[in-house]
Structure 1
Amino acid sequence: MRMDDEHVADGTPFGDPIDEPPATRARRLLRAGLPTTDLAPALAEETDPLLFATVSGAHLYGFPSTDSDVDLRGAHLLPVAELIGLHEPDETRSRMWDNDGVEMDLVSHDLRKFVRMMMRRNGYVLEQLHSPLIVHSTQAHRELLALAPGVLTGHHAHHYRGFAATQWRLFEKTGELKPLLYTFRALLTGIHLMRSGEVQAHLPTLIAEVSAPGYLPELIEAKAEAEHGAATGLAPTRLQSDVDALHEVLADARDRTRLPDSPAAYEALHDLVVRTRLQR
């Protein structure tokens, strides 16, 4: 991944990766387990301007496997003609390719759709926006980050409860370690968000900040060996008890949160979408 003022990469959940020296970003990129090849040529193939692209998925969550693919997520800007004509705009783009033996995929949404998703209590897109693993950034990305606190509400707890429940059912069906870690990650992210007002998706960091089962570091280490490895060595009843307990903690954190009930950044985000489109 090339690293300069507009194409940067980072492998840490801390600090401001946009403004870090390239050498520091490169070291953190390697620690995150990401490929170091230049992605600029692949991103240049996008038909519409990218406003940002970040790494999501297991690399962002802090438990990639040696055979994990790389999930890139972001926002792009459609031309005005595609939004005001009679044709329905293609607001979401998806592309997959091989990058030196590593499977890559990029999913991006038009800025208007991305902002609308931000306003709908969608923790997933907020995690993408806040990802410190930045591949491409622009001024619009910085402005979105600055306005993001204004969309956070106590209702985001429902997003994380629902996501955790879905992943837990997948774990019960497959017995794989991946959905089990996703379950814990979602619950801890939701708890941390309700308590601090901060979007934090990195599981090793969350373990240090939120009371969590002591076996999670071992599960992370086991997941590093294989993307679809089985979860072994823990009784299902204990896992169920720990997951249920974290659901209760999240519900309590939701009841006690200082986050508002409704977003406050609607007009500011509206202005950003209009201004960015007109400047194209």
Structure 2
Amino acid sequence: MTATLPPWLAEVPAEQPHSPAFVTVSGAHLYGFPSVDSDVDLRGAHILPLEEVVGLRTGQETITRSWERNGVEVDLVTHDLAKFCGLLLRRNGYVLEQLLSPLVVATSPIHQEMIAAAPGCLTRHHANHYLGFARSQWRLFERSGELKPLLYTFRVLLTGIHLMRTGTLVADLGRLTALTAGAPPYLPDLMAAKRSAEHAPPPTGLSDPVRLAHDVARLTAELEEAKGASRLPDAPASADVLHDLVVRTRLAVRVAPS
């Protein structure tokens, strides 16, 4: 984990009601532009025991918690392993980014198997996820004028472009700016401004609406073009692998008799 993340995050997975397959950090920390007052977004997969899957009293497929510790807001969302794997097969960019996040709080052999299966989950249709996310964040920026949704707009467009062209998922905007020809040169300055405050507007010299709208439209067109030219398949190839992983995990995990 990076120095900007509190060391006590490693204690969080053990405090949850079910064993984690993995827990990683998502959000602004993953995207490369956390603010001094950013909350910490924890995402992952937990493992429901067999008794809470096949019986009448089933366990929570999704667990959501928010709390504050030592002045840091923490937002935790985990899905049961089967639900998470199902989302991986539905061209969901969010869960792919969570699975492949390099900011790992807790891992396991199951996590490593999921990472190995991730390339087989990628399709050209993941571009639709990033196009839709970019549109919603751009509309939010137009309404609010805040820097955060503007950076999210550029981040998802560049992530989508890079994914379609290379088959590799990169979520860090700093890396994407260096890797992507035609990335707006002012992005590092916007990222630096975002670090000082979570809900600040863009700096005056970097907030020309005409230039911003032009660059968003240009990158949107590049993502659509990259989707059309991508060598990624139309459908995921890892369904059988993930099915086998879920079945093996279910049969191996039991609740001790009370």
TM-score w.r.t. length of structure 1:
0.87
Aligned to 2:243: 270
Distance (whole Å) between structure 1 residues aligned to residue 9 and residue 239 of structure 2: 33
The 1-side partners of 2:107 and 2:12 are apart by: 15
1:243 maps to which residue? 216
Secondary structure in structure 1 of the residue aligned to 2:66: strand
Q: What corresponds to 2:256 in structure 1?
A: none
Where does structure 2 lack aligned partners over 5 or more consecutive residues? Answer: 254-258
More relative contact order in 1 or in 2 (CA 8 Å, sep 6+)?
A: 2
Distance in 1 between residues matched to 2:245 and 2:101, nearest whole Å: 20
Aligned partner of 1:250: which letter?
A: L
User: Could you tell me which of 151, 174, 181 is aligned with 2:144?
Assistant: 174
RMSD of aligned Cα (Å) = 1.1
Aligned 1:100-115 pairs, distance under 5 A: 100-115=70-85
The 1-side partners of 2:9 and 2:183 are apart by 36
Amino acid at match of 2:122: L
Q: Matched residues in 2 for 1:265 and 1:125: separation?
A: 15
- Looking at structure 2, the residues matched to 191 and 166 of structure 1 have their Cα atoms a distance apart, in angstroms, of 17
1:75 aligns with 2:45: yes
Amino acid at match of 1:222: A
Q: Distance in 2 between matches of 1:40 and 1:227?
A: 24
TM-score, with normalisation over the residues of structure 2? 0.94
Correspondence 1:55-134 to 2 at 5 A: 55-87=25-57, 89-134=59-104
Q: Deviations over 1:126-165 (max 9, x none)?
A: 0000100000000000000000000100000000000000
Percent of paired sites with the same residue: 58
Are positions 1:159 and 2:113 aligned together?
no
For residue 277 of structure 1, report the CA deviation from its aligned partner: 1.4
Matches of 2:10 and 2:26, distance apart in 1? 18
Distance in 2, matches of 1:194 and 1:46, equals: 36
The count of aligned residue pairs is 250
Please show how residues 173-252 of structure 1 align to structure 2 within 5 Å.
173-210=143-180, 211-233=182-204, 234-252=207-225
